[in-house]
A and B are shown apart, each in its own frame.
Chain A
Amino acid sequence: MRESIREKIRLARRVVGEIFYGMVLHDMVLGLRRQRGEVERLFALILFGDMIGLPILPPYYTLRLLPYVMPALHRWKRSLLRERDLTDLAELIEAVD
């Protein structure tokens, strides 16, 4: 009985904490994620030559970096090729009304 009350309190705390995080910090995290995404896209683009066998930078460094980029290749491709329009930007303006 006591254990189940404790469990309920723990669950309630988690729910309140997550809602609070969603209200206060989630948009900041999204903003940072977007910035990181842009840098990662640039990074992948720099190494793109090596991926297709046409090195742009001296191969020693790019070959060292390639293992870090390859796992994100599909993500990069999806993110880069996704069709966008201005309504995609709507999420930039939170809390408009």
Chain B
Amino acid sequence: MNAIVVLILAALGIVVGYGFYARRIDRDIIQPDPKKATPAKMYMDGVDFTPASRNVLFGYQFKSIAALGPITGPIVAVAWGWLPALIWIILGTFFIGWVQDYGSMMMSTRRDGDTMGALSYKLVSPRARNILLLFIYFYILLIMGAFGNLIGKGLMVNTKVPFGMLAVTLMGVLAGQMTYKWKRDIILTTVVTVVLSFVGIWLSTQPAVSNIFSALYGFRMVEGKAVSPTIFLGNTQAQVIGTLLVVIFCYLGSVLPIWAWAQPVNYVSFWIIALGMLGGILGMLIWRPGMGDFPAFTQFTIGAGPLWPMLFVTIACGAISGWHSLVSTSGTARQLENEVDALPVGGGAMFMEMALATISFLTATVAFGSFKAYQDAAKPGALGVFAEGLARFLDHIGVPHDFGVAYGSVFLVIMGLTIMQLAVRFMRVASSELLGDKVPVMKNIHVGTIIALLLTILFVWIIPWLTIWVAFGAANQLMAGLALMLVALWLLSEGKKHTWALYPSIFMIVTTIAALLFVAYDNLIRKLPTAKTVQASIAYILIGVICLLLIVAAVMLIQDGLAALRKWRAKAAEKAA
């Protein structure tokens, strides 16, 4: 199949899904009232509750939900063949993804801007809020492990990448100084820092610079191949140093003032990412490659597990993601100027993310020309596939291949790191809030950060990335199932049709519990007895136990959810009578 045909199919999914299905539900069931005051207007506090225009919020929502998830998931999932992955990306968004993002946004808007914690407390049970917090904690931990692994042990091992990452980071810091301290014009700041970042990425491909990292990583020629020695817990010197560079970045992102590090680094990296995506799409349109011998379907069970349920947790964010409901409620719903904006903002951003997932799907399926070439590129990790695929698209707009690979890698490293630094900041604040009163030392920003990073290192160094990725996807999708259940309960409490949210919720909860059971079984029953090292045993136990914990939490939630469903149904019947 040709790349252009895939793009047309995705566009059709958007036109029909958004233009007909989503609009119809918005018009006939939710019935947004343009005259009704939104929480942003009612509770305007100039901080969290402040109205913003729908276009601004669309951009904000899209940037808040789209990052490495929609890029990584499809690349892994095409190992089942391109057809199941493409069907899930398009139909998942069509029937489930936008329902969650838009539904949770509308639910929060109609419920005084409450966040997911407060909503689960009020609509399900007090216990549901605590269970949600448990999900969030493990979700963040698994994000740190999955992204840390893909970046620290994958991309950073390429000696042509670390200098580019350092250059973009330093330019971010410079952008912060220029904007906030020296009060320079934003256009001048952008031009200087982005151009210098590109110079840094180009320098990173030069032998004089990459050789410094070769020496640092201890690369030696063994049988004509550069090899880094294994030094700690089965990790090479390159992987250990790569992970430590990631950890240092996150530490600074967590403890430094947000204006000095996290914010400006995010700002500069936005340009690096946006220009890369634009160049990649242009290159693809000029090239218009086909899928070659890439099979539509390979086999039911692959390395990640059986197609059902594992495909549905492997592609999380490109089709549906639980995290979106948290962003929609705590961030965007409190800034909606008008109820009618919820569909273009919540639904529209999700359909846009589907487009991003489709582009990522294409880098894996069409850029390599054959299934074998894709499999070879995927061996070190999914992100390597994207970097190489992007470089091949950029070849067609005249970007040298070596620079393209380094650029694609830095693009992904910086994309992952900007998330990780904020995740560490969140873990630090969460541990301070949860434990600060009982253990005063947890209020210290360095202590909270170091504990979060030690847990991250543990995950990164001992657990294989694909195992963490599927566990992360399962936790994320289970949160999505919960969010959809909340939306269904809210609709029921308002006496509205709720099956369009309830059926997707049932599908997501059943699928993700099955996925968690599979991962727990795979690690604890199949792999643990044959583990050859203590490190491998710890890894299997750790992931297996986390999955079991999440299953127990999910079962408790289902129990409470069913009780709430009965309660709201009875109330609705009472009202009707």
Question: Which residues of A does B touch, CB under 8 Å?
Answer: 14-15, 18-28, 31-37, 40, 72, 75-76, 78-79, 82-83, 85-97
Task: Closest B residue to A75 by CB, please name it.
Answer: B45
CB distance from A72 to the nearest CB of B (A): 8
The reply to whether B117 and A18 form a contact with Cβ atoms under 8 Å apart is no
Q: List 27 A-B contacts (CB under 8 A).
A: A18-B53, A19-B55, A21-B59, A22-B62, A23-B60, A23-B63, A23-B270, A24-B270, A25-B267, A26-B52, A26-B56, A27-B263, A31-B263, A33-B46, A75-B45, A76-B45, A79-B45, A79-B46, A85-B115, A86-B117, A86-B434, A89-B429, A91-B64, A92-B426, A92-B429, A97-B66, A97-B476
The reply to whether B317 and A24 form a contact with Cβ atoms under 8 Å apart is no
The reply to whether A97 and B65 form a contact with Cβ atoms under 8 Å apart is yes
The reply to whether A95 and B419 form a contact with Cβ atoms under 8 Å apart is yes
On chain A, the residues within 8 Å of B57 by CB distance are 22, 26
On chain B, the residues within 8 Å of A86 by CB distance are 117, 133, 136, 430, 433-434
Count of residues in B whose CB is under 8 Å from the partner chain: 63
B50: interface (CB < 8 Å): yes
On chain B, the residues within 8 Å of A89 by CB distance are 330, 426, 429-430, 433
Alpha-carbon separation in the docked complex, A29 to B136 (Å)? 26
Question: Which residues of B does A touch, CB under 8 Å?
Answer: 43-50, 52-53, 55-70, 115-118, 129, 132-133, 136, 140, 143, 258-259, 263, 266-267, 270, 316-317, 321, 323-324, 326-327, 329-331, 418-419, 422-423, 425-426, 429-430, 433-434, 476
Task: Choose one: A26, A28, A72, A85; the contact of B129 (CB below 8 Å).
Answer: A85
Task: Choose one: A18, A36, A76, A78; the contact of B59 (CB below 8 Å).
Answer: A18
The reply to whether B63 and A22 form a contact with Cβ atoms under 8 Å apart is yes
CB distance from A89 to the nearest CB of B (A): 6
Task: Choose one: B67, B118, B429; the contact of A96 (CB below 8 Å).
Answer: B67
Describe A's contact surface by its main secondary structure. helix
Chain B CB within 10 Å — which of A27, A31, A32, A79 has the most?
A: A27
8 interchain residue pairs of minimum CB distance: A22-B59, A97-B69, A18-B55, A37-B47, A87-B117, A90-B326, A97-B317, A91-B331
Alpha-carbon separation in the docked complex, A6 to B258 (Å)? 41
On chain A, the residues within 8 Å of B62 by CB distance are 22-23
On chain B, the residues within 8 Å of A96 by CB distance are 67, 69, 143, 323, 327, 419, 422-423
Task: Choose one: A19, A92, A97; the contact of B58 (CB below 8 Å).
Answer: A19
The reply to whether B43 and A31 form a contact with Cβ atoms under 8 Å apart is no
On chain A, the residues within 8 Å of B67 by CB distance are 95-97
On chain B, the residues within 8 Å of A36 by CB distance are 46-47
Task: Closest A residue to B61 by CB, please name it.
Answer: A22
CB distance from B253 to the nearest CB of A (A): 11
Alpha-carbon separation in the docked complex, A36 to B317 (Å)? 33
Task: Closest A residue to B57 by CB, please name it.
Answer: A22
The reply to whether B56 and A18 form a contact with Cβ atoms under 8 Å apart is yes
On chain A, the residues within 8 Å of B63 by CB distance are 22-24, 27, 94-95
Given known A37-B47, A95-B63, A97-B476, contact A31–B68 (CB-CB < 8 A): no
The reply to whether A85 and B258 form a contact with Cβ atoms under 8 Å apart is no
On chain A, the residues within 8 Å of B426 by CB distance are 89-90, 92-93
Chain B CB within 10 Å — which of A15, A26, A37 has the most?
A: A26
CB distance from B561 to the nearest CB of A (A): 17
The reply to whether B330 and A26 form a contact with Cβ atoms under 8 Å apart is no
Alpha-carbon separation in the docked complex, A39 to B65 (Å)? 29
Alpha-carbon separation in the docked complex, A23 to B129 (Å)? 31
CB distance from B133 to the nearest CB of A (A): 5
Alpha-carbon separation in the docked complex, A92 to B63 (Å)? 13
